[in-house]
Amino acid sequence: MTSQYYVPPTSKWPIIAVIVVGCTALGAGSLMTYGSGLPFLLIGLAGIAFVMYGWFRDVINESMGGLYDMQMDRSFRQGMGWFIFSEVMFFAAFFGALFYIRVFALPWLDGEGAKGVTALLWPDFTASWPLMNTPDPSIGGPDAVINPWTLPLINTILLVTSSVTLTIAHHALKEGNRAKLKNWLIGTIALGLVFLVIQGIEYVEAWTQLGLTLQSGIYGSTFFLLTGFHGLHVTIGAIVLIVLLFRVMKGHFTADNHFAFEAGAWYWHFVDVVWIGLFLFVYVF
Amino acid sequence: MTPETTQSVSQHSVSDVASGHDAHAHGHAPTGLMRWLLTTNHKEIGTLYMLFSLLMLFIGGTMALVIRAELFQPGLQYVQPEFFNQMTTMHGLIMVFGAIMPAFVGLANWMIPLQVGAPDMALPRLNNFSFWLLPVAFTTLLATLFMEGGGPNFGWTFYAPLSTTYAPPSTNFFILSIHLAGISSILGAINIIATILNLRTPGMRLMDMSLFVWTWLITAFLLIAVMPVLAGVVTMMLLDINFGTSFFDAAGGGDPVLFQHLFWFFGHPEVYIMILPAFGIVSLIVPAFARKRLFGYASMVYATASIAILSFVVWAHHMFTVGLPLTAELFFMYSTMLIAVPTGVKVFNWIATLFRGSISFETPMLFSLGFIVMFTIGGLSGVMLAIVPADFQYHDTYFVVAHFHYVLVPGALFAIMAAAYYWMPKWTGHYANETLGKWHFWLSVIGVNLTFFPMHFSGLAGMPRRIPDYALQFADFNMLSSIGGFLFGFSQLIFVWVVIKAVRGGVKAPAKAWEGAEGLEWAVPSPAPLHTFDTPPEFVPERDSPSRHSDH
């Protein structure tokens, strides 16, 4: 065992990251609690963007400089894999909440089951899904919900297609075909961005025309919670893909050494799979 | 991971990489405060985690003493009920997220790379980020005490709607501090798993690892699985409070019980996150001072994994009185009782290891033996609480308080203390003072039992938890608990003294500080130099390892 381990040198980025994340939390907290603190929030968010730029730039430079060995590569892979697992569990909590509400809580409020005494709270309440009439009428349900076979179907096709195009780009990278890689990656990003635009249109329609808002009872709550956090993840994934595109154009990645590309692709496929769950259980059924 | 893939570690660690490592890591080391702010060294970060945890132990402990002072006699003595509620809440939050968890993460940081023969954690910069998030998170949490309306006052379990509709305005900051601590835990756990799976020295198979490493591998998995669920549930609280959603409000079709399901889906595995590494520590110390190999290494590993898997299907035993369907109550009662089986395997294992051993009673061993006895008391009261009709009587009484304090204080905390005394020679180069250590142990044992044993009786007699005043018939038990609480609290100052003394001097320790101890950490000098294992160390299977026996 004569070979030496690689240990990355000290970096100033982690502690700067802590400062800007703390600044973001402080800003968000005081904005919600006291109605002021927006500057802190914005500085914090800009700081997070700056840190991610600087930290990743250092890591990319070290990687391009040939400092990393196979062991470091495996650490990155395992780190990304477990990070995505943690994201899966984050969404699992929200899906679990959705199923609990639909399968247990609402029927019980309607008087079903041996513990149906909660039906005494609002005797006129009738459970349904989507829940158009909330138990307490003062909260008020939505007037209508999104038809899954219009914009959501288009979005499903877009996102599933984008997973396919990204895979084609990945194969192009492994074949060393840079032009094909670049074009299919651009196509993937375009599909992701169109998805986000359509999601935006759908949100405006829901909010202004259908009366479907965060405040319209549990249907609106779960709808915006699940689609909103998914949209946030598509946004993050699209930014990752755009960064990867810039790196491709600068000539980064080789046919057999391109972990960052793979990590971005894993993340994109994960976001895609979550959408299929959303399409089925939030929109269709 | 198979032995073949671990072997490949050395093949790929080419030498041109090593030259880059030398140029950077040992070039210009920052000094003073910057050294600690920028450090990516697992030993320094481990030390920071443990010092932070010790500080939090005293802050949370002071809050416990406020509670015990108020409960010394019936009637309102020193604090108002509103403040009392903030003390019970903050005491729980700080001890769970600020003291116990960071202490175990600190031990993991220090010892896992040493025990697997790694040069550092797998992702050292991420490690720095994970630690320094904690002071920010807990400064935010503590700051809520000084905000208008006071800090969190809804219990450490923060049930909705107490924590949403009826919560103080500072709750937003509480939620954000939970988010920060959660991010810290998830990233720390990712780092630990990557270190264990990827950085073991060539030849060390999974079943050759020390049990502390094994239990942490499983604990890290639990952390990654359930901390995001906690993040999800506090996010839903945030939306209910600030954006008018109805997740935990039945008026809009939501359900407050949904909060409890989500919270305890996190909360029960969280309980094992705080005890599994303790099992690992005791499984190292008992064989070392009994001078015998652990009775059953493999069964210990399988028992740990079984407990972790079961922890995902028992959560509703915290909610028996909330109005669950009968089938759910039966399912969660029996699944909970099943946990007694792997836990029993562990206790049997430790006792069988002691049987006919050549035992000596140094301080780490005393704390470990105390752990075995008193953790078992907490485990048995847990089985009592698992019985649904009995739990209807015990729920939300001091019996529950007695139960979880027995598993967390003479359980988790005693194991942390045992670990600190056990590895003190490796950290400081000096043995902890044995006389002071024994005083610390015996005063702690007396204090902890005087505090928590009478709570079984006051609880069975019907005293509810989280109240600042109580009926007269509970007065004697409460006075005993308060005296014990102050004894236990002030005894911990001895530990601070022990640490300071060991850092400054004392009996010098050789590389292998305990004659019966085994593990790669004893192959490096005491104190361990800042950088260890620049190259993969030669691995000899340990006494407890099955491969040792197949080799001979």
Tell me: ipTM over 0.90: yes
Residue B547 confidence (pLDDT): 52
Q: Three-state SS for A3? A: coil
- Whether pLDDT at A137 is above 50: yes
Helix ranges restricted to H, B94-170: 101-116, 124-143
Residue B544 confidence (pLDDT): 53
Residue A69 confidence (pLDDT): 87
Check if the beta carbon of residue B238 is closer than 8 Å to that of residue A229. no
Question: Cis before residue A152, ω within 30 degrees of 0?
Answer: no
User: Is residue B268 flagged as an active site residue?
Assistant: yes
B343: left (phi over 0), alpha (psi -120 to 50) or beta: alpha
Verify whether the Cβ–Cβ distance A105 to B198 is below 8 Å.
no
Q: What percent of chain A has pLDDT over 90?
A: 86
Residue of B435, B430, B470 whose CA lies nearest to B454? B470
CA distance B546 to B530: 32
Of B12, B191, B201, the CB nearest to A70: B12
Q: Which residues contact B185 (CB under 8 A, 6 or more apart)?
A: B101, B105, B130, B223, B227
Residue of B318, B418, B333 whose CA lies nearest to B374? B418
Residue A5 confidence (pLDDT): 81
Instruction: Extract the tokens encoding B105.
Output: 């993460």
∠ Cα B97 B100 B105 (to 5°): 90
Q: From the candidates B306, B343, B363, B458, which is the catalytic residue?
A: B343
CB contact burial B511-548 (16+ within 10 A = b; e otherwise) = ebbbebbbbbbbbbebbbeeebbebbbebbbbbbbebb
Around B167, how many Cα atoms within 13 Å sit in the side-chain half-sphere?
28
pLDDT class of A92 with cuts at 50, 70, 90: very high
Verify whether the Cβ–Cβ distance B246 to A218 is below 8 Å.
yes
Block means of pLDDT (10 residues each) for chain B, 552 residues, are 36 36 51 91 97 98 98 95 97 98 98 96 96 98 96 96 96 97 98 96 91 98 98 98 96 96 98 97 97 94 97 97 94 96 97 96 98 97 96 96 98 98 97 98 98 97 96 97 98 98 96 93 94 86 55 42
Mean pLDDT across chain A: 94
pLDDT tens per residue across span B304-349: 999 999 999 999 999 999 989 999 999 999 999 999 999 999 999 9
DSSP B2: -
pLDDT class of A8 with cuts at 50, 70, 90: confident
| Interface list for B 243-282 with A (CB within 8 A) | 243-247, 249-255, 257-258, 261-262, 265
The CA-atom distances, in angstroms, between B529 and each of B114, B295, B526 are 11, 33, 8
Q: Which residues pair with A254 in a beta bridge?
A: A257
Residue of B460, B410, B449, B474 whose CA lies nearest to B72? B474
Of B228, B239, B323, the CB nearest to A225: B239
Check if the beta carbon of residue B72 is closer than 8 Å to that of residue B486. no
CA distance A112 to B159: 25
Q: Given the structure tokens 């922890």, which residue do they identify?
A: B311
pLDDT tens per residue across span A251-269: 999 998 999 999 999 999 9
Q: From the candidates B272, B398, B423, B522, which is the catalytic residue?
A: B272
User: Is residue B272 flagged as an active site residue?
Assistant: yes
Residue B543 confidence (pLDDT): 54
**What angle do the packed helices B276-290 and B297-310 form, to 10 degrees?**
160
Residue of A122, A153, A155 whose CA lies nearest to A139? A122
A79 and chain B in contact, CB less than 8 A: yes
Residue B418 confidence (pLDDT): 98
Q: What is the largest CA-CA distance in chain A?
A: 78
From the CA of B460, how many Å to the nearest CA of chain A?
27
- Whether pLDDT at A121 is above 90: no
From the CA of A235, how many Å to the nearest CA of chain B?
19
- Looking at this protein, which amino acid is placed at residue A272? D
